Amino acid sequence: MQNRASSIEKSRLITRRVFMLAAAKLLLIGGITSRLYSLQISDREKYELLSDKNRIREWKTPPQRGFIVDHFNNILADNDRVFQVHLDLDQIKDFNEVIFKLKNILELSNNELKKIYREKERLKPWDTLVASDNLNWTQFSKLNLYLHELEGVKPVVSSSRFYPYKDSLVHVVGYVGAASQKDIERKDVIKENLVPGLKVGKSGIEYAKETELIGKYGIKRYEVNSSGKRISQIDYIKETQGEKIKLTIDLEVQQLAQELLKGKAGSISAMDIYTGEIIAMASSPTYDPNKFTHGIGHKDWGEIRDDPLKPLVNKSIAGLYSPGSTFKPLVALAALEFGTIDPERPILCKGHKHPYELYGVKYHCWKKKGHGYMRLRNAIKQSCDIYFYEMARLLGVDRLAIIAKRYGLGSNILKDLYFDEKKGVVPNTFWKKNAIGKSWYLGETVINGIGQGYIQTTPLQLCLMTAQIANGGYKIKPHIIQDESINYESVRLKIAKQFVNETADFSNDEKFLVDRDYKLYERLYRNPENIKFIKDAMFGSTNEQYGTSYKSRYDDTKYQFAGKTGTSQVKRITEEERKLDLDQSQIEYKNRDHALFIAFAPYKNPRYSISVLVEHGGSGSSGAAPLASKLIKKIIDRHSLREQIKKGSTSLA
Amino acid sequence: MLTERLNTRNYSLFEKLKSVDYFLILIIMLIGAISVFAIYSTERGEFSFYTKNHLIRLLVFFGMFLVLSFVRITFWYKNAYFFYAVCVSLLFITLFFGLMASGSRRWLDLYFLNLQPSEIMKIAIIVCFARYYHRIQTAEIQNYKFILVPLILLLIPCYLVLQQPDLGTSILIAGTGVIIIWLAGLNIKYFVYSALLLIVSLPFAVSLLKPYQKSRILTFFNPDRDPLGAGYQIIQSKIAIGSGGFFGKGFLKGTQSYLEFLPEKHTDFIFTLFSEEFGFIGSIMLLLLYILLIYRIISIGIYTKSFFSKLFCFGFASAIFLYIFVNISMVLGLLPIVGAPLPIMSYGGSSMLSIMLGLSIVMSCKIYSQDQISNY
């Protein structure tokens, strides 16, 4: 009986414990359920995202760069189809073996191999290496043939920058190259669009207008497995092309300008004197931007970099030169505006035997025999230095600086586009005290009067100066990217508007004799007669006998232009040298004078201004004026065509 | 009074068939069917190696289950210690002659099947303990002698399995044993003391673990410690389950497993795959089926007369619960990853064999429920 009882008790105990255990089990099941709930219902979105992140991998496709076109819609920067080899580093097992095979298939040079290895060092193990970004068709088809034994090697058809006009526009348009770390840090848009082998602007418009040009990358979405192998393409968002940038440049004028400078070092700039549109901005020597697109070779780069004529410098905006006699019209204008000279006052130029003297220092005229008695108009026309020495002395450097700055010297013009632009120097007494720490000497004023000494200008500044004299003395804004809202008629209208409530008496308007900011299209002169006087004198310089650029004139009024030569000394002429009276060809190249010329055309109703600079080109009248003459003809011949296009696009817009 | 007496009453075939638990069979078949689809899904909807093998094993072992169900429960009672001894021997043999795979020696090559003796041991320990406690009176259970013997009986297989090494199975065997000792009626205080002792000795235990085992446990507490190594499984499993959402991604559409992000999806992580494809709803349904299975086994235990049968049923039900709980908690990131298959669902012959064997003993308890085994 006792056993019986024990057995029953045992059964009761076990049953009780089973129920306790069941309760515990239910509790644990509850725990599992709540965990399932939190994973699958509360946090579902988080895990869905993680799952998609696992299985979906995106590949960016390179953005299409926007075109750069000229005024006539000629494509200056185009996109070309190129064949490339990409290496997916994470899928390559034996890098050396793959490279060895590639070398044999593509016949790569040792230099190219070195580049690939260097690149590999730089990249992360899951990056894509662009082994070659410009294969020819034979190489590309051969690669495709052997592809099955090259795991991780990807033939890619891509697009790359192509400059059909090669070296004609490199200083304007710029060039592209592989995006560097600096580029990536510089612009978010580059970081965002970064794909293996991305090319970005390195100079010029390509650099300045990166944001507009770069476009938007495309996305190819693939489903991948855990080892990263692509299973299927889910999605393809096509890349988009960047904006088209339209320049004010006229390709044909630019090409001619570049052609005229061939074999020389120098610059030619031309602009519309009302709209400020830059029609040509040539710099020589030049180079082919296409070489940079796929990474320039050591030899080519060395040649460009070490060329003593400095092809990399955009001389139109980054070359600083003494303006020489091209500065004289502005000196004369300043003297007239401030009334420090009577234009009818004669000054005698007696030649080298009797130079101008100041405090015992002698200042010579360029003309050995002297000009004789000169009045202001003649002094400009024949570029008599003695006259300008005296006029500058009477005017004073500070007053001269006010006018020089007003007409565009000493300040940036296209800095927002060309980071390498230089400002130059328009000296005055305050400037010298600050920059050099010494007081101003009167002798410095004297040589400043003929555009020598401290004064430093860029050719584009001289072009702007000429434009603002030629248009009657109104402030304009030079630009190289087309602005449809600016045209000849609208500018003329804006110029005219400021006179609506003004009296016709300009004689004593002191407002125009102080240094201040001028609004766009505001008049820059005190008395319009002064501007007229200068323009007339420049007409004489080109179109009258004894004028310094008489030989380059056109008699046809359609082409007739007014200009001013300049010959700027690179080196001070010593007494001995003066006595030797060497011809320019007998002097060492680097010591020869720079030849300059500024002009506006046509003389009646002028529309364009031009500045020419030929480094060490000798005298302005023989080294620069003939080039300007040729280019002016081209510009005027194309004038009506240019206007048509402009009107066409305006009416379209 | 009476000494050993076996009730040898004869059952007619009709009686036997009548007392078969068809509901239990239905549940087993349902889980079995689900398991085939799940394995089929691991092969991306191809009826190939794993699916074929799994289906064959399921059918063979299910047949075995049906046949063994009619083995008289007294047979298991009589041969309990022998069964235990065979399993321990097999574990010994495995240690020396076992097949080596991924750093551990767990399998015996039996030509038609690679047997994992530790899986069979899971059943043997229950049978053995049921027999042992069957004879002991409640009062005696607290006696040190009767505590020491089962403890030794338990520690031998646990140690052997740990030597393979197979931490997961060892823990499951130990857990099962402890639950049975508790069910048999050992005073609760012993468990409290042991628990305290365990916590105190935990640092020493950890120092005895193999480096990979330590890493697994450390990783469990912080899966991001090594997201591509040891933490990878937990992270990917959680992603798979979480991204399944309420309704799941759909049959054969589990991207995590299809794209091979999920490790060991046939075996330990089969629940993950199922949960990814069938979502919260599917997981709850599967859990419910398992609860029904356990409930049914417990019911049989209550219904059956002999203490041996009762203890076996309750012990086996608890063991199944333990396997399920450990496996699912593991894939949900609630417990460290220790190899523990999900009963019936996971691919693996020995595990299937062991579960079906256990179920057949349960069924035998039901059919021969009127058998009064020994009565002192």
The pLDDT of residue B242 is 93
Give B-chain residues touching A36 at CB under 8 angstroms.
241, 275, 280, 283-284, 332
Residue B169 in domain: yes
The pLDDT of residue B92 is 93
* Backbone phi, psi, residue A288, to 5°: -90, 115
Between chain A and chain B, the number of residue pairs with CB atoms below 8 A apart is: 130
The answer to whether residue A303 neighbours chain B at the CB level (below 8 Å) is: no
The pLDDT of residue A128 is 80
What band does B225 get if pLDDT is binned at 50, 70 and 90? low
> Domain limits of chain A?
58-169+215-246, 251-303+311-652
Give A-chain residues touching B242 at CB under 8 angstroms.
39-40, 43-44, 46-48, 50-51
Q: How far is CA B260 from CA A122, B44, B69, B327, in A?
A: 31, 10, 40, 20
pLDDT tens-digit map of A125-165: 777 888 887 788 888 888 888 888 888 888 888 888 999 99
Cα-only R_g, chain A: 36
pLDDT tens-digit map of B23-49: 999 999 999 999 999 999 998 888 989
Q: Cβ contact (<8 Å) for A47 and B307?
A: no
A232-251 exposure pattern, b = at least 16 Cβ within 10 A, e = fewer: eeeeeeebebbeebbbbbbb
Which of B137, B138, B292 would you mutate first to test chain A, the one with the most A CBs within 10 A?
B138
**Tokens, residue A70:** 């000229």
Give B-chain residues touching A44 at CB under 8 angstroms.
242-243, 245-246
Q: Structural domain tally of chain B?
A: 1
Give B-chain residues touching A8 at CB under 8 angstroms.
none
The answer to whether residue A56 neighbours chain B at the CB level (below 8 Å) is: no
What band does A598 get if pLDDT is binned at 50, 70 and 90? very high
The answer to whether residue A42 neighbours chain B at the CB level (below 8 Å) is: no
Q: Cβ contact (<8 Å) for B332 and A225?
A: no
The CATH class of the A58-169+215-246 domain is alpha beta
The residue with greater pLDDT, B8 or B310, is B310
| Span of A558-567, A615-624, B96-105, B157-166 with lowest mean pLDDT | B96-105
Q: Cβ contact (<8 Å) for A18 and B311?
A: no
In whole angstroms, give the CA distance from residue B62 to residue B58.
6
In whole angstroms, give the CA distance from residue A365 to residue A385.
5
C-beta of residue B339 within 8 angstroms of C-beta of residue A46? no
> Considering chain B, what is the average pLDDT of its residues?
88
Which of A6, A15, A37, A47 would you mutate first to test chain B, the one with the most B CBs within 10 A?
A47
In whole angstroms, give the CA distance from residue A329 to residue B133.
123
Of B185, B259, B302, the CB nearest to A55: B259
Q: Cβ contact (<8 Å) for A54 and B302?
A: no
Q: Cβ contact (<8 Å) for B376 and A50?
A: no
The pLDDT of residue B1 is 35
Q: Cβ contact (<8 Å) for A18 and B183?
A: yes
In whole angstroms, give the CA distance from residue B239 to residue A270.
66
The answer to whether residue A31 neighbours chain B at the CB level (below 8 Å) is: yes
**B286 to chain A, minimum CA–CA distance in Å?**
11
pLDDT tens-digit map of A247-275: 999 999 999 999 999 999 999 999 999 99
Residue of A nearest to B314 (CA): A18
User: Is the pLDDT assigned to residue A652 strictly greater than 70?
Assistant: no
The pLDDT of residue A504 is 57
Of B256, B280, B307, the CB nearest to A41: B280
User: Is the pLDDT assigned to residue A97 strictly greater than 90?
Assistant: no
Highest mean pLDDT among A207-216, A217-226, B257-266: A207-216
User: Is the pLDDT assigned to residue A635 strictly greater than 90?
Assistant: yes
Residue A565: beta bridge partners?
A: A597
Q: Cβ contact (<8 Å) for A44 and B240?
A: no
The pLDDT of residue A151 is 80
Of B291, B325, B332, the CB nearest to A39: B332
Give A-chain residues touching B312 at CB under 8 angstroms.
none
The answer to whether residue A34 neighbours chain B at the CB level (below 8 Å) is: no
The answer to whether residue A54 neighbours chain B at the CB level (below 8 Å) is: yes
Residue of A nearest to B311 (CA): A14
The pLDDT of residue A1 is 40
Of B261, B275, B321, the CB nearest to A226: B261
Short-list A563, B49, A345, CA closest to A553: A563
**B207 to chain A, minimum CA–CA distance in Å?**
29
The answer to whether residue A223 neighbours chain B at the CB level (below 8 Å) is: yes
Q: What is the mean pLDDT of residues A571-597?
A: 83
> Considering chain A, what is the average pLDDT of its residues?
90
* DSSP state string for B253-294: --HHHHTT-STTTTTTTHHHHHHHHHHHHHHHHHHHHHHHHH
User: Is the pLDDT assigned to residue A338 strictly greater than 80?
Assistant: yes
The residue with greater pLDDT, B339 or B179, is B179
* DSSP state string for A270-319: EEETTT-BEEEEEEES---THHHHT---HHHHHHHHH-TT-TTS-HHHH-
Residue B1 in domain: no
Q: Cβ contact (<8 Å) for B243 and A22?
A: no
**A38 to chain B, minimum CA–CA distance in Å?**
8
Of B185, B246, B256, the CB nearest to A10: B185
The answer to whether residue A32 neighbours chain B at the CB level (below 8 Å) is: yes
Q: Cβ contact (<8 Å) for B243 and A48?
A: yes
The answer to whether residue A11 neighbours chain B at the CB level (below 8 Å) is: yes
pLDDT tens-digit map of A444-491: 999 999 999 999 999 999 999 999 999 999 999 999 999 989 999 999
Give B-chain residues touching A223 at CB under 8 angstroms.
255, 259
Which of B235, B238, B239 would you mutate first to test chain A, the one with the most A CBs within 10 A?
B239
The pLDDT of residue A503 is 63
Of A3, A14, A40, the CB nearest to B245: A40
State which residues form the domain around B113.
Answer: 13-367
Topology, domain A251-303+311-652: Beta-lactamase (3.40.710)
**Tokens, residue B188:** 């609760």
Preceding peptide of A329 cis, ω within 30°: no
Residue of B nearest to A49 (CA): B243
What band does B143 get if pLDDT is binned at 50, 70 and 90? confident
Give B-chain residues touching A51 at CB under 8 angstroms.
239-240, 242-243, 255-256
In whole angstroms, give the CA distance from residue B258 to residue A489.
70
For chain B, percent of residues with pLDDT exceeding 70 = 94
Q: How many CB atoms lie within 10 A of CB A551?
A: 12
Give A-chain residues touching B138 at CB under 8 angstroms.
6, 9-10, 13
3-state SS string for B100-142: EECCEEEEEECCCCEECHHHHHHHHHHHHHHHHHHCCCHHHHC
The pLDDT of residue A653 is 41
Residue of B nearest to A229 (CA): B259
Of B137, B239, B259, the CB nearest to A225: B259
Residue of B nearest to A51 (CA): B239
Helix (H, G, I), strand (E, B) or coil at A356: strand
Short-list A273, A274, A275, A282, CA closest to A250: A282
Report which DSSP code applies to A79: E
Q: What is the mean pLDDT of residues B156-182?
A: 92
**Tokens, residue B370:** 């009127």
The pLDDT of residue B23 is 95
pLDDT tens-digit map of B312-367: 999 999 999 999 999 999 999 898 888 889 999 999 899 999 999 999 999 999 99
The pLDDT of residue A296 is 82
Residue B105 in domain: yes
Reported pTM: 0.70
The answer to whether residue A232 neighbours chain B at the CB level (below 8 Å) is: no
Q: Cβ contact (<8 Å) for A6 and B255?
A: no
The pLDDT of residue B373 is 73
